[in-house]
Amino acid sequence: MHNTIAVAMSGGVDSSVAAWLLRQEGWETAGVTLRLFQPEDLPPGRGEACHALQDAEDARAVAAQLGIPHYTLDLSARFAQCVMDPFAAEYEAGRTPNPCVVCNRTIKFGALLEEADKLGYPLLATGHYAQAERDESSGRFLLKKALHPEKDQSYVLWSLTQAQLARVRLPLGRLSKEEIRSIAQEQGLVSARKRDSQDICFVPDGDYAAFLQHHTGREYPSGPFLDTSGNVLGTHQGIIHYTVGQRRGLGVSSSQGRLYVQQVRPEDNAVVLGDNVSLFHKTLTARELNLIPVDRLDAPLKVWAKVRYRMAPQPAVLEQTGPDTARVTFEQPQRAITPGQSVVFYDGDLVVGGAVIQEALDS
336 phi-psi bin (left φ>0, alpha ψ -120 to 50, beta other) = left
Q: Which residues neighbour 137 within 8 Å (Cβ) at sequence distance 6 or greater? A: none
Q: Which of 50, 82, 100, 103 is catalytic?
A: 103
- Provide the β-strand partners of residue 232: 226
DSSP conformation class of 110: I
Helix (H, G, I), strand (E, B) or coil at 151: helix
Which of 55, 146, 91 has the alpha carbon at shortest distance from 351? 146
Which residue among the candidates 50, 82, 100, 201 is catalytic per the annotation? 201
Q: Calculate the CA 46 to chain-centre distance.
A: 22
Contact between 157 and 128 under an 8 Å Cβ cutoff? The reply is yes
Contact 314, 330 (CB under 8 A): yes
Q: DSSP state, 81?
A: I
Contact 290, 354 (CB under 8 A): yes
Please list the residues that pair with 327 across neighbouring strands.
285, 319
**Cβ-contact 31, 58 below 8 angstroms:** no
Identify whether 103 is a catalytic site residue: yes
Residue 26 main-chain phi, psi, to 5 deg = 95, 10
Q: Which residues pair with 33 in a beta bridge?
A: 72
149 phi and psi angles, rounded to 5 deg: -60, -25
Which residues, in sequence order, are bridge partners of residue 7?
31, 125
- Please provide the DSSP assignment of 54-69 as one string: HHHHHHHHHHHHHT--
319 and 355 Cβ atoms separated by less than 8 Å: no
Annotation says 50 is catalytic: no
- Tally Cβ neighbours within 10 Å of residue 313: 17
Please tell me the total number of residues recorded for the chain in this structure: 363
Residues noted as catalytic? 103, 201
